[in-house]
Amino acid sequence: MSHHDERTFVMVKPDGVQRGLIGDIVARFEDRGLKMVGGKFMQIDEELAHEHYGEHEGKPFFDGLVDFITSGPVFAMVWEGADATRQVRQMMGETDPAESAPGTIRGDLGLDLGQNVIHGSDHEDEGANEREIELFFDEDELVEWDQTDAVWVYEDEDH
């Protein structure tokens, strides 16, 4: 990883997969200049769902979260780039699509709070990224590679 890079965990949720939005969502991050270093199409089981949503255990909406995230396949990804977590959160929009600006993923692609298409690590929770990346990916599933257009994305790269 170069000096300006940060990794962030992102997941297209079952509703986004069912609606055929994976390509659109991946393209938005690629267009922005972020680099995918891991991607996995998978079915989340109960155990992983419980670990992923662990902090919500015991809350009234917990069972609904688990039911939804295990209801169909998801596309889990790790993206890399400058300030990636904050950039991705900004691109996703607010948790409630109704509050999300047009141009954001949820503002463009979602209408309902429960079916909000995408999950991304919380940039205000220090360890969220590493925790979620480790939960979904083994180290050898993440690929280190040079993005040839990085010189056109970052000001301080050598031209």
Which amino acids are annotated catalytic?
A: 119
Longest dimension (CA), the chain: 54
Q: Is 136 annotated as a binding residue?
A: no
Q: Are strands 74-81 and 35-42 parallel, antiparallel or unpaired?
A: antiparallel
Q: Is 106 annotated as a binding residue?
A: yes
Residue 56, CB-side half-sphere exposure with 13 Å CA sphere: 12
Q: Is 68 annotated as a binding residue?
A: no
Two structure tokens written together for 60: 């009234």
Query: Which of 47, 33, 56 shows the shortest CA–CA distance to 119?
Result: 56
Q: 98: which residues sit within 8 A by CB, 6+ positions away?
A: 111, 113
Handedness of CA 19, 49, 44, 33 (dihedral sign): positive
Q: Is 89 annotated as a binding residue?
A: yes
Give the annotated binding-site residues for ATP: 13, 61, 89, 95, 106, 116
Give the annotated binding-site residues: 13, 61, 89, 95, 106, 116
